[in-house]
Structure 1
Amino acid sequence: MLKSRFVKLFTLMTIVLLVASLILTGCGKSSETGDSSKSTDSGQPAQQDTQDSGSQATSGEQKITVLLPKHEMDTKGFWEKETRQFESESGVKVELINMAWENVAERVTQEMAAGGSSYDVVEFDNAWVAKFNKNNWLEPLDGYEGADEIKNGLLSGLVNKFSIGGKFYGVAWNNDTRFFMYNKKMLEDAGISKPPKTWAEVKEYSKILQEKGIAKYGFIDAYPQSQVGVNEITYAIYSFGGNYFDENGNLIIASDPGVKNALEFLQKGLNEDKFIDPASLTSDYEAIANVFFKGDTAFFLQAWPGVYAYANDPSVSQIVGQIEVAPYAIGVDEKTNIVLTLPEAMAIPATSKNKENAWKYIRYMSSKEFDKRKALEIGALPIWKELYNDPDLLKLYPYWENFGKQAENARGLPDITWYDQFANIIQVEVQNILIGQTSVEDGLKSIEEQLKRVME
């Protein structure tokens, strides 16, 4: 699971360069045509048909082609089974192509840039929103039957992430939202009755745990010079009430008090107060999870959903039975208890020749009934708000109730077409701030100056 996250992050920059090349050279439609009618999990191209994947399979037969990564928790063929059920109920044939994320990403971006029509439903990653919107690569979904029900029923953070310019472009299929978890036993041993709710309490409780020899540090996070580090810094900034841009897209990073307060807190916590594990500066997600599982830290500020299960697996964890999910995330007040969401969605290419049937598939595969079956069968986190209070699901996953409470305040990464350049600047300059090489004020001025040059 963790390895796939790192591959995904690494691949993004390569894809951006590829898309830029395709657009600038004005290349024609991709020579790649349809794949075999069987779904595939490999990264290798499947056997080609003699016709476009998006065309009619036979005279009078309705057919769509779907290109998605396989859900990392779907070891039972659940998506394949449900797709065949959709075929049975709708009469629409589905060519389902499952590949590793990096292979799907390459195919989707090549096809979009070339203006091809091979696919009718495609992967739509949270990092692609601004770029795909700018290039008019996707079909707005707002006008389709049932779209309003979906927008009103799904977690708002998932809807907002795939909406831009007042239009809704993608329905989430993979809810990769992060949550605040903590070691309840450690807090009880220290005489602390409830988890921290504010950053000030994180510091206070961490110092108590250290003084009593219960934890080495309050928490460890991932602040390396990589996309992982940008994710965690963005969460910290959001949870201090800060932002990189104002509502009009203007840079405010050097003047926003929340940004300054977040970085000052982290800088001091690492270098002066020393309640943040200094290994945060070089650790990735797998490393910080392992530190938490060893019982060296008490708080996991932005844990992915699977952390709870791993924490209770004696083969990898020394803290079995000690972990709880808080009913809130960390912030400076009630308005800033933010969690980060990095979801994936299904979307319809603007060039698809089968948009109505593509929407039927998306609607079926994101319905509340489907979402519950998916949660019951493979343990995937729901996209529908109502399911976080579903009695059947809470019997299996009682901690999901608090997942639902935290997810009400989920936010995604900034929607900008030049995100990779943005991330490269942030990750380098912020680490200089965190290690104390530069002051927060000077570092933020440098970041803003560099970002402005990119925007010119």
Structure 2
Amino acid sequence: MRKGFAVLVIGVVVMAIVASGCIGGGGGSQTSTSPTPTSTKLQGKIVFAVGGAPNEIEYWKTVISTFEKEHPGVTVQLERQSTDTGQRRLELVNALRAKSSTPDVFLMDVAWLGQFIASGWLQPLDPYVQKDHYDLSVFFQSVLNLADKQNGKLWALPVYIDAGLLYYRKDLLKKYGYSKPPETWEQLVQMAQKIQQGERKSNPNFWGFVWQGKQYEGLVCDFVEYVYSNGGELGYFKNGKWVPTLNKPANVQALQFMVDLIHKYKISPPSTYTDMTEEPVRIMFQQGNAAFERNWPYAWALHNANNSPVRGKVGIAPLPHFPGHKSAATLGGWHIGINRYSKHKELAWAFIKFVESYQEQKNFAIHLGWNPGRTDVYNDPDVLKAAPYLKSLRAVFENAVPRPVVPYYPQLSQIIQKYVNAALAGDMSPQEALNKAQSEAEALVKQYS
């Protein structure tokens, strides 16, 4: 899940993907419990926790195998987490709250950084960076800063970045007389209705547009994209305090449009608000049952796999926008960090360096379709051959809209999920839903003031 979502907004981040559970700690000690790393020969065992789609897990096994060959004294045990991102967070939270020494190293959604940093669960990376003269300039600085400059320390490094994108069937656009993908949401509705009507003559299960609407973090990501592409915002920082603006008129209009996609225009299935997460959306599109799809970049490689029914028929573009505004994509992606309670921090750092190396970042882009956290990989000829869209859509990733980086983001996300989903289901009007969300968000912020 994807996984975009302009890091030009000060003090906030995107994506990503949070389930239930209260934030623990809120202010644990940030002092390192380990000495400065030494240069002794590496040997021992570390546990690496990671989840995701099955093909991602299989590729991580390849990464680990290559690392172990280069470091014959080190063994890496892969601790497979859930595919569901919210469950992945809870698994890590439970271990870290218990001060477990494992997993030693793990991936974190960008949306978790505020909680993990405030809770004191991460090992600062500064001693390792300084000792190895590690070059941080190769990373997207706006993304790197999400885990830097907080309490004056660097807490994690970006493995890959995400942003919401529009996938479309090139062959169907051509078939129905369209020369390019939609730039506005109105254009998308018109195209989707026409294509859906035509395709249903032979495929009654065909839909115009599929996206993530179930009550989970992915819905927040989609909501952010509609809101910001209409000139709205979730909130802003004032004197260091986050001020929610969930029920402003532009947001209500955006939510009404989301509702209309299902109930008025009928180009999105009713199951959107009950079942649609990243994978069901991807599968429906990949099986040839949709004209347009909102998803993260990971879907590109799967859509173009040898066994994909839509291989070679898929185009990719920035998400549409409302008239007078700009396209917006929620910032997503994953950072890698070290467990503060790990007994093998130097081994964990060696693994992080390997994962962040030019070659491995290049391999992630080629084999998984990921957008590297390193900027220098984007001009690699092999990468551009495998993922040609990276060059033209790099600006989408650089200017993705972040979600708020606040320690209470999991609770804030739950509020937004609950009421946006209620509106999609028709249980309350968009105005009523966002009024209730605003009230609860204000009460939440007050608890942390």
**Range of TM-score over shorter length:** 0.7 to 0.9
Q: Which amino acid aligns with 2:80?
A: A
Q: Pick from 169, 186, 191 the counterpart of residue 177 of structure 2.
A: 191
What is the match of residue 100 of structure 1?
A: 80
Contact kept? 1:223, 1:280, Cα under 8 Å: yes
Q: Pick from 337, 340, 361 the counterpart of residue 371 of structure 1.
A: 361
Q: Which amino acid aligns with 1:189?
A: K
Unaligned runs of 5+ in 2: 3-15, 29-33
**Which has the larger displacement, 63-72 or 296-305?**
63-72
Contact kept? 2:208, 2:268, Cα under 8 Å: yes
Q: Which amino acid aligns with 2:268?
A: I
What is the match of residue 416 of structure 2?
A: 426
TM-score w.r.t. length of structure 1: 0.73
What is the match of residue 203 of structure 1?
A: 189
What is the CA deviation profile of residues 11-30 of structure 1, one whole-angstrom value per residue up to 9, with x for unaligned ones? 953xx46x74xx69x9xxxx
Q: Pick from 210, 225, 235 the counterpart of residue 235 of structure 1.
A: 225
Contact kept? 2:303, 2:314, Cα under 8 Å: yes
**1:359 and 1:100, CA in 2 relative to 1: closer, same or farther beyond 3 A?**
closer
What is the CA deviation profile of residues 198-230 of structure 1, one whole-angstrom value per residue up to 9, with x for unaligned ones? 223223333443565689543122212333433
Q: Distance in 2 between matches of 1:111 and 1:73?
A: 23
Q: Pick from 142, 150, 166 the counterpart of residue 180 of structure 1.
A: 166
What is the match of residue 154 of structure 1?
A: 139
Q: Distance in 2 between matches of 1:287 and 1:377?
A: 22
Note the C-alpha offset of 1:181: 1.2
Q: Pick from 64, 68, 73 the counterpart of residue 56 of structure 2.
A: 73
Aligned residues: 409
**1:374 and 1:440, CA in 2 relative to 1: closer, same or farther beyond 3 A?**
closer
Is structure 2 residue 277 aligned with structure 1 residue 277? no
What is the match of residue 324 of structure 1?
A: 315
* Structure 2 residue matching 1:371: 3-state secondary structure: helix
* Structure 1 residue matching 2:320: 3-state secondary structure: coil
What is the CA deviation profile of residues 371-424 of structure 1, one whole-angstrom value per residue up to 9, with x for unaligned ones? 124445666543323323321222333344345343223344433333343333
Contact kept? 1:302, 1:339, Cα under 8 Å: no
What is the match of residue 9 of structure 2?
A: none
**1:451 and 1:405, CA in 2 relative to 1: closer, same or farther beyond 3 A?**
closer
Contact kept? 1:108, 1:123, Cα under 8 Å: no
Is structure 2 residue 304 aligned with structure 1 residue 308? no
**1:252 and 1:202, CA in 2 relative to 1: closer, same or farther beyond 3 A?**
same
Give matches, 1:49-448, under 5 Å.
62-63=42-43, 66-70=46-50, 72-73=55-56, 75=58, 77-84=61-68, 86-87=70-71, 93-102=73-82, 108-110=92-94, 112-115=96-99, 121-141=105-125, 144-145=129-130, 149-150=135-136, 152-155=137-140, 158-163=143-148, 165=150, 168-175=154-161, 177-210=163-196, 217-248=207-238, 249-255=242-248, 257-285=249-277, 286-305=279-298, 307-312=299-304, 315=307, 317=309, 319-326=310-317, 328-332=318-322, 336-350=326-340, 358-376=348-366, 380-448=370-438
Contact kept? 1:157, 1:411, Cα under 8 Å: no
What is the match of residue 11 of structure 2?
A: none
Q: Distance in 2 between matches of 1:381 and 1:356?
A: 27
TM-score w.r.t. length of structure 2: 0.74
What is the match of residue 6 of structure 2?
A: none
Q: Which has the higher contact order (CA 8 A, sep 6+)?
A: 2
**1:107 and 1:217, CA in 2 relative to 1: closer, same or farther beyond 3 A?**
closer
**1:108 and 1:431, CA in 2 relative to 1: closer, same or farther beyond 3 A?**
closer
Contact kept? 2:42, 2:71, Cα under 8 Å: no
Identity of aligned residues (%): 23
